[in-house]
Amino acid sequence: MDFVFTDEQRMIAETAQTFFAENATSERTRAAMATDGIDHALWQAFCQELGLSGIGIPEAAGGAGLGLVELAIIAEAAGAQVAALPMLGSLALVAQAIAAGGSEAQRSEWLPALLSGETIAAHVEADDLVAEGDSLTGSSAFVAHGSAAGLLLVSGAGGSWLVRADAPGVSITAQTTMDQTRPFARVELAGAEGEPLADPHAAAKAATEAGLVTLAADGLGLAQAALDRTVAYARDRVQFGRAIGSFQAYKHRLADMMVEIEQARSAVYWAACAVDEGSEEAALALHAAKSFCADTAFRCAGDMIQLHGGIGFTWEHDAHLFFKRARALQTLLGKNDWHREQIAAMVLGETA
Amino acid sequence: MKLGFTPAEEEFRAECAEWLNTQMAGEFADIRGITTLTEKAERRKEWEQHLGAHGWGCIGWPKEWGGRDATLAQQVIFAEEYARAGVPGRVNHIGIELAGPTLLALGTDEQKRRFLPDIASGKTIFCQGFSEPNAGSDLASVRTKARLENGEWIVDGQKIWTSLAHISDWIFVVTRSEEGSKGPKGLTFLMMELDQPGIEIRPIRQINGDAEFNETFFDGARCPADSLIGAVGDGWRVAMTLLSFERGVSTLGQQMAFRNELDAIIAASKENGAAKDPLIRQRIAKAEIGLRLMRYGALRMLSNTDHASVDGAALTYKIQWASWRRSLGELAMEVLGQAGEVTDHDGYEWPMLPNLFLYSRADTIYGGTNQIQRNLIAERGLGLPREPRGDA
């Protein structure tokens, strides 16, 4: 029992925090929002210069090794800046799925391209998928960063397939999305050729674990940054002759944010450790972390707007970026009520 | 970062569990499962001594003072297994968790020799005299007076909310020893024997019908001149040192008791069909998540040895568990429905879950109200400007 960062983890955290704070600026994020929702220069720098893109992928598969704790550290740092990056789809979902469930050939073909940032991948969860052999027909309207993807991982009908975005039968349409830092695309497959993953079960498990931890950590970083920025504002802004942060009605709300965030922090690292250590609590921890952190992020982002007053409602201020990202966290990879229902079934002893 | 325990630690866990379960199945079966603080107090004093006699009284203390030099992980494990086995709470928890560590940190060698072995062996039960009538959470507005006279301290005044004073042997009292001083200045921290003519203890009946709190009156009560911890006038610092021990390992034992309460709610919901209600299921899931996050918050807090940094988890912990448990009480009543509002007892005595509902209203008040906690978090944790304070 030693639930605290190791020196190496602390170093990764500092490196990632500095990198994103310096580079994922509001200006650059806004520029990315006006295009396909990705700061491509930042993504290249993250993948190639920082060398952290392979974290959570085994070294044998060409990754950097380490585990979900380290992946969470990175996602948290990126989330704090609301960075416009395809981390969720490309690294957490698709690269993890290929590393865990892909064949040797699939791994050597795709992982280097994904980890170097050369290819961006997106995950397509198609509820209506029909697979005739490896010819896929189906669609999803909510594929995060789908427009930028060169590679799609299509899941449904009990399997997972790799599909090239430029293959015949694939059409991708960008959607105007509330959260412009993670815009959705509509992906339609009409008899598109897919290459099946060797072990779709292992792929889905790894992708879900990494995806939920990434989202939870993203929400944690976002919530903490919303609090930090609002605290800074509370100290500077003077009204009625006092810093507004001295008023109880104001400071108590900030304190409540901190109470939630400290729990969210425990949730993220509990879930990440539980997966890394193969604990039997892992499934429960993942459902808990995702639902709790998404709710915390939404509450803190909403409070950020409220506590900034009118300026927080404007396009000019960053609060709306936090708020919209937090809203998207509520639904990505399952609604929070759904995750809690899974937990209820577990604790009520209804699951096998 | 590592959550799992080592094989040696798991072995220690098995040892703890086996010993505790054996006691609870045998000689002390009559106190197993008690959840209030006052029930069968005399038997529970015998239990304290039994624990001490077998070296389980306060395992985190140094061996020379009756402890085991247990590692942090071992203390965590013992606290969890203690509660898991359904062993009732320690009637001497003030002695073990507050008075003892304060003496270890600030007491003289003579004081350590005099008190620590008896606390460890369960012979001396301590209670605490901090709060005063009308003072509420303003801990520094102490009015109980102490003056030195012929080599003795003479104490006059009144304390309130002195938990378990009526079954305790000693009390530590924060007194105003400097005439005319205000707030945290001029205070002295005294240890007094309760069984003496100048002290009267009156239990206060609470919302749940039980009486675990007391009013304690001092009318010319006495203790020797060397009964103080720290220096004359240094009582505030001593009191703050003592309160800093409150975020210790015992929080984990407390959570295992919470686990038992939530399990009882889950069982009740399955029995009466409430578990089929989607809204109840959401609330059960939220309670489960909150409980787990308390455990991992506590482990994070305990693992963090960097005491110089402000530890957010520690600052937020009180409001977190208190709010969680109050919601749990409300969930219990929602699950039970009207059946929770009646009891078979002749007296106004409640089973575990309705009692939880009533008692948990105290959780967000004692030890610093939720409102005071929010001020602490905002001012110490977030560095916001202090609330303007009037002259005391």
Asked if residue B4 lies in contact with residue A4, where contact means CB atoms within 8 angstroms, the answer is: no
pLDDT at B363 over 70: yes
Measured in angstroms, the CA of A162 and the nearest CA of chain B are apart by 35
pLDDT for the residue numbered B248: 61
Q: pLDDT tens digits, residue range B336-352?
A: 999 999 999 888 989 99
Confidence of residue B392 (pLDDT cuts 50, 70, 90): very low
Q: pLDDT tens digits, residue range B93-109?
A: 899 988 999 999 999 99
pLDDT for the residue numbered B254: 85
Q: For the CA atoms of chain B, what is the radius of gyration?
A: 21
Q: Chain A residues with CB inside 8 Å of B320's CB?
A: 259, 262-263
Please write down the HEC assignment for all residues of B21-58.
Answer: HHHHHCCCHHHCCCCCCCCCHHHHHHHHHHHHHCCCCC
Asked if residue B319 lies in contact with residue B374, where contact means CB atoms within 8 angstroms, the answer is: yes
Confidence of residue B391 (pLDDT cuts 50, 70, 90): low
- Establish, for the pair of chains A and B, how many residue pairs have beta carbons separated by less than 8 Å: 165
Record: contact B374-A255, CB cut-off 8 A: yes
Measured in angstroms, the CA of A341 and the nearest CA of chain B are apart by 6
Record: contact A255-B3, CB cut-off 8 A: no
Whether B64 is catalytic: no
List the single best residue of B10, B71, B320, B384 to mutate versus A (max A Cβ within 10 A): B384
Record: contact B377-A267, CB cut-off 8 A: no
Q: Where are the alpha helices (DSSP H) in chain A?
A: 7-23, 26-33, 40-44, 68-80, 96-101, 104-115, 200-236, 248-276, 282-308, 319-331, 336-347
Record: contact A3-B292, CB cut-off 8 A: no
Record: contact A258-B377, CB cut-off 8 A: yes
Q: In angstroms, rounded to a whole number, what is the distance separating the alpha carbons of residues B197 and B218?
A: 9
List the single best residue of A268, A343, A351 to mutate versus B (max B Cβ within 10 A): A343
Record: contact A258-B290, CB cut-off 8 A: no
Q: Chain B residues with CB inside 8 Å of A242's CB?
A: 385
Q: In angstroms, rounded to a whole number, what is the distance separating the alpha carbons of residues A13 and A73?
A: 6
Q: In angstroms, rounded to a whole number, what is the distance separating the alpha carbons of residues B137 and B134?
A: 9
Q: Which residues of A180-200 are buried (b: 16+ CB within 10 A; e: fewer)?
A: bbbbbbbbbbeebbbbbbbbb
Q: Chain B residues with CB inside 8 Å of A337's CB?
A: 282
Which among B275, B302, B384 has the least Cβ separation from residue A246?
B384
Q: Chain A residues with CB inside 8 Å of B315's CB?
A: 258
Query: DSSP letters of B157-198?
Result: EEEE--TTGGG-SEEEEEEE-STT--TTTTEEEEEEESSSTT
Q: Determine which one of B9, B246, B349, B379 is catalytic.
A: B246
Q: Chain B residues with CB inside 8 Å of A245's CB?
A: 378, 384-385
pLDDT for the residue numbered B307: 56
Q: In angstroms, rounded to a whole number, what is the distance separating the alpha carbons of residues B2 and B221?
A: 52
Residue A336: closest CA among chain B residues belongs to which residue?
Answer: B282
Record: contact B299-A3, CB cut-off 8 A: yes
Record: contact B284-A266, CB cut-off 8 A: no
pLDDT for the residue numbered B309: 57
Measured in angstroms, the CA of A116 and the nearest CA of chain B are apart by 28
Note the ipTM here: 0.96
Which among A2, A261, A340 has the least Cβ separation from residue B2?
A2
pLDDT at B84 over 70: yes
Record: contact B1-A4, CB cut-off 8 A: yes
Q: Between these two residues, B303 and B383, which has the higher pLDDT value?
A: B383
Which among B1, B284, B379 has the least Cβ separation from residue A344?
B284
Cα B81 to Cα B14, B76, B229, B254: the distances in Å are: 9, 9, 33, 11
> Structure tokens of B390?
């009037």
CB atoms < 10 A from the CB of A251, how many? Answer: 25
Measured in angstroms, the CA of A127 and the nearest CA of chain B are apart by 24
Confidence of residue B240 (pLDDT cuts 50, 70, 90): confident
Q: Chain B residues with CB inside 8 Å of A9's CB?
A: 1
Measured in angstroms, the CA of B38 and the nearest CA of chain A are apart by 31
Q: Between these two residues, B312 and B386, which has the higher pLDDT value?
A: B386
Mean of the pLDDT values across residues B360-373? 92
Asked if residue A241 lies in contact with residue B388, where contact means CB atoms within 8 angstroms, the answer is: no
- Show pLDDT as tens, one digit a residue, over chain A (352 residues): 789 999 999 999 999 999 999 999 999 999 999 999 999 999 999 999 998 999 999 888 888 889 999 999 999 999 999 999 999 999 999 999 999 999 999 999 999 999 999 999 999 999 999 999 999 999 999 999 999 999 999 999 889 999 999 999 999 999 999 999 999 999 999 999 999 999 999 999 999 999 999 999 999 999 999 999 999 999 999 999 999 999 999 999 999 999 999 999 999 999 999 999 999 999 999 999 999 999 999 999 999 999 999 999 999 999 999 999 999 999 999 999 999 999 999 999 998 6
pLDDT for the residue numbered B270: 98
pTM: 0.94
Residues 6+ apart with CB under 8 A from A250: A234, A244, A307
Record: contact B375-A248, CB cut-off 8 A: yes
pLDDT for the residue numbered B390: 66
pLDDT for the residue numbered B306: 63
**For all residues of chain A together, what is the average pLDDT?**
96
Mean of the pLDDT values across residues B11-23? 97
Asked if residue B216 lies in contact with residue B165, where contact means CB atoms within 8 angstroms, the answer is: yes
Q: pLDDT tens digits, residue range B256-315?
A: 889 999 999 999 999 999 999 999 999 999 999 999 999 999 888 888 776 555 577 888
Which among A235, A270, A348 has the least Cβ separation from residue B270?
A348
Q: pLDDT tens digits, residue range A117-145?
A: 999 999 999 999 999 999 999 999 999 99
Record: contact B1-A6, CB cut-off 8 A: yes
Which among B285, B297, B305 has the least Cβ separation from residue A340?
B285
**SS3 of residue B200 by DSSP:** strand
B47 sits in the region (left: phi over 0; alpha: psi -120 to 50; else beta) called alpha
B162 sits in the region (left: phi over 0; alpha: psi -120 to 50; else beta) called beta
> Structure tokens of B172?
């530590």
